[in-house]
Amino acid sequence: MCELYSKQDTLALRRKHIGPSCKVFFAADPIKIVRAQRQYMFDETGEQYLDCINNVAHEVVKAALKQMELLNTNSRFLHDNIVEYARRLAATLPEKLSVCYFTNSGSEANDLALRLARQFRGHQDVITLDHAYHGHLSSLIEISPYKFRKGKDVKKAFVHVAPTPDTYRGKYREDHADPASAYAEEVKEIIEEAHNSGRKIAAFIAESMQSCGGQIIPPAGYFQKVAEYVHRAGGVFIADEVQVGFGRVGKHFWSFQMHGEDFVPDIVTMGKPMGNGHPMACVVTTKEIAEAFSSSGMEYFNTYGGNPVSSAVGLAVLNIIENEDLQGNATRVGDYLTELLNKQKAKHTLIGDIRGIGLFIGIDLVKDRQKRTPATDEAQHVIYEMKEKRVLLSADGPHRNVLKIKPPMCFTEEDAKFMVDKLDEILTVLEEAIGVQSESMISENAPCRAKLPNEAHSELLSDGTSDPRENPSPKRNGLCTDKHSLLSKRLKT
């Protein structure tokens, strides 16, 4: 493929013209991707990388080109594509979720969902989960602790943060008798405190499975109980499916459906995989909420939302999911991958937890399984080493220690085996290195020689990880714990 610039020139131009807060993957050694095919990405030299993180991809090209050659215009004209797509989309959802509003991104969709919720009863307050991320608009940063707690913003009075329903690292864990009720009770208490302060709840919003928060799967029954409390308070339940919808969990088309038929959100937002990388998103809600929104007298119009090309792309994606049985593939490959990873957990003490469903899996790395101490530095080391082995992973969660696996839906069992084999190699070397260091560090004065590259250090801090220089500790488990002296210099295998 013809390049406009060399990799160095591309990087230099990006630094000059693209905002510095727009980060790249692998900042210490970024990859220049020039093309992709199915679950593989290729750099400018032709090197192939197995993509385990790019959850926006389903295959479409011809549908977009065909419609683009005919017409693209806004949704104020009648066109079959938008109504056919709305009909097909609604058919994947519970019956009461039947009215669609099309947008261009998940952020737009979540912003609109808030407007719908606030118009419905005239309430304003929003309950969100800790570590949640719902988009980059100001209205969404305000309800995204994942973001606002990293900046200078303070939590707004109308925002209430509930504990993440994390049964591995959270307040109520797997040994609790009823973690779902315990976590839901926290939401009930928030509602009561808000009411006592004269505030009214408009909405509770949550990803059906929390992604940026560390691949968290809520305990069974949690959403049902929360919905009961929120409805009683006159609010609505918003399920954010932007990252986790469109068959990723395998057994269901939407992730909220895995919580049972007795749970149906009032508003669902979607995006990312919806258009195979083409910018499109949607809010689906009930007729009652839609009519309340219309009664405000304000017209909703989005220039490109639901345009004929986007709708054609969306229809093509739905066809491919069905025709290529991508839901079934997510179940088969996801189950196989989870099985392989659990075998790795039995082998490697760095793996504290494997959690997920379908092609949405998290690997929680820990320094100590009993204390569940997050292995943040080790996780960063692993993702860079995996990149060297041509496998692309990312790390997330409050401590940046959870390896996120959410690959394209066409991921195969062979890909899963390849990825896990490479991970096994890296963890084996890493754990051996930790053991060697532990044995050699008998003296309190033993130096720690490995250092984290400056770029990677900056990358970690920019993602909100606290700078360990503020609380230096010479050693822990045989490792130098400050990022100046990390094994993340990248152990060469």
Give 59-75 pLDDT, tens digit per residue. 588 888 899 888 888 88
The Cα 144–Cα 132 span in angstroms is 5
CA proximity to 313, closest of 324, 303, 305:
305
What is the pLDDT at residue 409? 93
User: pLDDT at position 348, please?
Assistant: 96
DSSP, collapsed to helix, strand or coil, labels residue 478 as coil
The predicted pLDDT at position 149 comes to: 66
Residues 265-324: pLDDT tens digits?
A: 999 999 999 998 899 999 999 999 999 999 887 888 888 999 999 999 999 999 999 999
CA separation for the pair 468, 364 (Å, rounded): 20
Taking alpha carbons only, the member of 222, 226, 228, 116 closest to residue 178 is 222
* Cα 420 to Cα 101, 144, 416, distances in angstroms: 40, 32, 6
DSSP 363-405: EEEEEETTTTEE-HHHHHHHHHHHHHTTEE-EEESTTS-EEEE
Q: How far apart are CA 240 and CA 297, in angstroms?
A: 26
* Joined tokens for residue 51: 């993509």
Checking if the pLDDT of 170 tops 80, the result is: yes
In 3D space, the residue among 215, 239, 260, 174 whose CA is nearest the CA of residue 359 turns out to be 215
Tokens coding 281: 């998103």
Residues 21 and 18: their CA atoms lie apart, in Å, by 8
What's the angle, vertex CA 318, arms to CA 312 and CA 319, rounded to 5? 90
Nearest Cα residue to 50 out of 59, 41, 58, 37: 41
Asked if the model's pLDDT at residue 19 lies above 80, the reply is: no
Task: Give the model's pLDDT for residue 375.
Answer: 95
Which one is predicted more confidently, 1 or 239? Answer: 239
Average pLDDT, the chain: 85
Integer Cα distance of 305 and 107 in angstroms? 13
Would you say 127 and 201 are in contact if contact means Cβ atoms under 8 Å apart? Answer: yes
What share of the chain has pLDDT > 90, as a percent?
65
Backbone angles phi, psi at 288, to 5 degrees: -65, -45
271 with 281: CB under 8 angstroms? yes
Cα 368 to Cα 349: distance, rounded to the nearest angstrom? 8
What digits encode the pLDDT tens for the residues 105-148?
A: 999 999 999 999 999 999 999 999 999 999 999 899 999 988 76
- For range 164-181, the mean pLDDT: 95
Q: Classify burial at 248, counting beta carbons within 10 Å of its beta carbon; exposed 0-12, middle 13-18, buried 19 or more.
A: buried
Q: What is the DSSP letter of 476?
A: B
Helix (H, G, I), strand (E, B) or coil at 269: strand
Model pLDDT, residue 152 = 63
**pLDDT at position 78:** 79
CATH number of the domain at 60-324, out of 3.50.50.60, 3.20.20.70, 3.40.640.10, 2.60.120.10?
A: 3.40.640.10
Ranges 191-200, 246-255, 466-475: which has the least confidence: 466-475
Whole-number pLDDT of residue 474:
33
State the pTM of this model: 0.83
Q: Compare 209 and 296 and report the one with higher pLDDT.
A: 209
Which amino acid does the sequence have at 48? Q
Fold classification of 7-52+326-437 is Aspartate Aminotransferase, domain 1 (3.90.1150)
Rounded to the nearest 10 degrees, what angle do helices 308-323 and 326-347 cross at?
60
Give residue 1's pLDDT: 52
* pLDDT, tens only, 69-92: 888 888 877 788 999 999 999 999
Classify residue 444 by burial, with Cβ atoms within 10 Å: 0-12, 13-18, 19+: exposed
Q: How far apart are CA 136 and CA 22, in angstroms?
A: 12
394: tokens are 């990312």
Q: Tens of pLDDT along 346-363?
A: 999 999 999 999 999 999
In 137-213, alpha helices (H): 138-141, 145-148, 179-196
Is-contact 126 143, C-beta < 8 A?
Answer: yes
pLDDT of residue 480: 35
CA of residue 340 relative to chain centroid, distance? 22
Q: Residue 341, SS3?
A: helix
Other Cβ atoms closer than 10 A to 278: 20
Higher pLDDT, 123 or 25: 123
Assigned token pair, 194? 């808000």
Residue 489 predicted with pLDDT over 80? no
- Tell which residue, 482, 369, 363, 378, has the closest CA to residue 429: 378
The per-residue pLDDT for 4 is 86
Q: How many percent of the chain have pLDDT more than 70? A: 85
d(CA 409, CA 414): 14
Tens-digit pLDDT profile for residues 361-400? 999 999 999 999 999 999 999 999 999 999 999 999 999 9
- Residue 159 and residue 379: Cα distance in Å, rounded? 32
Domain residue ranges of the chain, discontinuous segments joined by +: 7-52+326-437, 60-324
What's the confidence (pLDDT) of residue 384?
Answer: 95
Structure tokens at 29: 């050694």
